[in-house]
Chain A
């Protein structure tokens, strides 16, 4: 028991960090759902592509041997291209896999199937170009293993703090974007009433595309963070991470941005507690049990509202 208590705070820190990363990915699902009422099942693969981009930059930086391996330099160098590339992939998905369907009057099912197809396409593209074997990130070159310290008796690594910090800043930034800028306001307008948003002069498809870009860029950033943390990535990693993040989005209330962040945090904490207190093998079962329980009592998710029928999944 004493053992358990001593590792509990550590596990909590881990759970919060994991939860913030889930939240970061979940934002992509929830933002797209907000404006198009569809689940972009290829989002997990956009996240995976972000991880690959980060890996490629890290390998290049280490091989080039032209600069010191300083996290302040290397991390942004990994994040920026990963976010940009993931964002562009998101734009491509919207333009090629979804918009043509909606413009031809597709209902719910078409875009969903298209999303699954896009997901398989992205996975296979990466598998064929990068190989099916996993890639290893030399995270220890950026964040040496002894970069750890104690806060209030909890031993944390600098890497975990950096991951939590970056995820936190991004969520804060997105929240500010959505709540306080004209672009964010037009996103909310499109989410609430697309026709009236158009009557206000909003370029609706432009806003949809921007939403895909931003959501995908955040997913790409999460990919880099997860790659750095787990140090191993493969072309299939988007599947399980995507499923978890999607769960987080539904848990918090799909379509609700703060809900996605909250759902991610709850999921991360539940997982880490379940691993510690019960059994790591059960962590997924327990996470999904929590999801089911929440949905039984609050079908719209924790921060979700009762949606009109046409907006339901």
Chain B
């Protein structure tokens, strides 16, 4: 059934563009109906699940990695999947009307349904890696949804910010999950949360930090919340669905999922409470100063997410409160977003201060807004009240547990400001008089909308607001069982077990005189006061905007430009296009690594370096080699350099002769001569060496060259001390006459012992000679330097010193067999 649900929605996603092409108007309701049937299927089994039945389905995927398609339906998954499919069906219906004329509606349906399938997969997944796969899929589909209107630059920017933030968080999450699961030895989440021995594992702390980083970015906690208000660039249907009811709750969901294991770990609990409380208060403060519908709702969503995170850090009681709050929030915030969409659709005004008295033209929407707003403010009789009441109660409870009183301040402040925001979006535009200022909009005069919006637009907010009302008035009908089953799952208990949550949610039980009630009613009153005095409040808090440069959006911008800046700096320094620079770095690295290894390896050890007596001839030859090499470096004409190179080679060859290797010496003489001739032929036409570099640069070059040279010389000396085997020369001199009947040992070696070598050498030389002949031939055909040498290579070289050399190479190359 679970896999079938995901598969069904994926199938809808695939079919959506076709359906849209075939039926146009009818496609949206049809798809909504399909999603609704999945919702109904899940609701059908809900009584069993709330009674404690757990459905488990497993299919193989990549068992070598511990990845399998394991799906599990328990109380928490049930709550989330009902929200995903229920709100999803309503949102699809809404979108079919609100985006009726959007050019990419078919693509929108497909992406939204793909998102829905991923989200459903995420909450049903019982395998950590599978959950991660779906987690990333929700990021990608959300990216596409935010960027739906991709002709707008802000939409593209917001989409990128959302994806970068949640994507980076996702990677952290992956690392954290792998660490945790490897420590526990299982990737099955339901199994993992029972492995209490992990709590002593040294990798626990980094794992927690990484997992929380992932969850906090996804659920827009401080300081990562900046992407969520930006994501409101998406169509309202997307905001209502992804950015209030479902996707942003993924982080909260995962925290809840891991709670049975990690709740009680000091780092986990305190991070959740501190970050959650800071987010709840901070976002509520920022949001209470906004007037644009969606911005107010966005920040209040962030604030509510903070509340849930904070509650999850408060133990089992907090879990119950979090579950109830999650359900209540999804219902009222989804409704309010859709209401904002209806208002936008009807009036094309996005600023709630510029609207008023909309109840006349939008009566049903206004009623839904009122119900949702009351629920959000936490007025008794609505589900939101239960959520808020439990929240306050748990915070007071935590105070006894040793938490700082600041926590209560944050809770009260966030509650009051949320009530103010509720009034701003649900009260101001609908029930207060229209502002008299010039920008006021009077929708009733607009004949196109005189009859109110189409039914698919208002049915969604109405249904969700109604659900909030029913949940508040008669919680036993659906709200309490579902939320409490979820709370049990968060606490790691099965429903009905001792200690399982059985908090009564009906008003009669909750409205009991006590500090909690006073505090929460006081918060509502304070919120209304803030709303009434909102102009003075906004003016008074204006100095707080001086903190914006320290805020999350600036942090994101700083991180973004920091990465780019660092990258540019690295590029400028390392990638300047000069072969000379590349060689310098590479050789420098070889030298550092070589010397480092030598120094490290020889710390303590000492092996004698063999010494052999040096005669005057040898000394002279070595000196000659050194002088030639020095001359080669210092000389300025190519011919002279080639001559010096040849001289160095001749000195080395003579050294061979002195040490009794005439064959080697002869070969060397021949090779040297040939090289000089070839080099002269090839390099004859190149220009003189200009002096490109400053003295300082030449000093650096010399230092690197000497260092590498010294390293290599040192290695040769060391290697000379290694005697691995009997020298083969003894064998040769003993067997030369016995086996080969020759008295000249060198001759015997060349033509007998190493006959195959000799044959190979001869072949190579012959081929080389043929090549030389061909070169000379080509030159003979084209006498004189060519008139039209190609210009600079296309690559622009910032280093002027480099370009001529490359140009020359590229220019010469065609004569040697290129496409001339």
A in complex with B: no
Query: Which A residues fall within an 8 A CB radius of B?
Result: none
